Amino acid sequence: MFDEREKIALFIDGANLYATAKSLGFDIDYKRLLQEFQNKGYLLRAYYYTALADDQEYSSIRPLIDWLDYNGYTVVTKPTKEFVDSTGRRKIKGNMDIELAVHAMEMSEAIDHFVLFSGDGDFRSLVEALQRKGKKVSVISTLTTQPPMIADELRRQADHFVDLATMRAQVGRDPSERAQRQAERVQSTTFADEFEDDEAI
């Protein structure tokens, strides 16, 4: 499926990949993900797309965005838009489909193999357009959840479909690592509290 002479680019729909991995019960280790594709060919770019809430002083996704930015990913963000729907409910919109599609088409001359991390059926026409330019497109999502995270029309259009569930060993974060990090966080908080108590004495 991969040829080491190919120039590869990753296009990651951040919210979609997060939801897919979560539904499969594991976290993505983005360092290992990058290494996995660096070993498969010449990885030219790894794009990560996500919308960010503007009004939040601190977003839980911010540390990930900063880490990706410094560690080989090209992060593309835009502010989410808040609106009220016809029923009066507050909704938040943060779709990055257009940005991803535009970048993919702009890069199409330089890339041999596009790897799309998304199950969104809206990308079917993008995949078709890239294929018309003679490009190979792999789509990574999952069929193992109920309902599947990938739209049937996208899976059929792709040259290759890879189920994220089969990549768990290569790109999943070690669960013990997460437990260790949580323990360290608790420990450092406890230490800070004790230190403050000592200061107060």
Token code pair at residue 32: 């290992």
Closest by Cα among 81, 85, 84, 76 to 93: 81
Contact 171, 32 (CB under 8 A): yes
Identify the structural domains of the chain with CATH numbers, from first to last.
Answer: 7-173 (3.40.50.1010)
- Alpha helices (runs of H) in the chain, residue ranges in sequence order: 14-24, 30-38, 62-70, 97-107, 124-132, 152-157, 168-171, 175-200
User: pLDDT per position in the chain (201 positions), as tens?
Assistant: 888 889 999 999 999 999 999 999 999 999 999 999 999 999 999 999 998 876 655 567 888 999 999 999 999 998 877 767 788 877 666 678 999 999 999 999 999 999 999 999 999 999 999 999 999 999 999 999 999 999 999 999 999 999 999 999 999 997 666 655 555 555 555 444 444 455 444
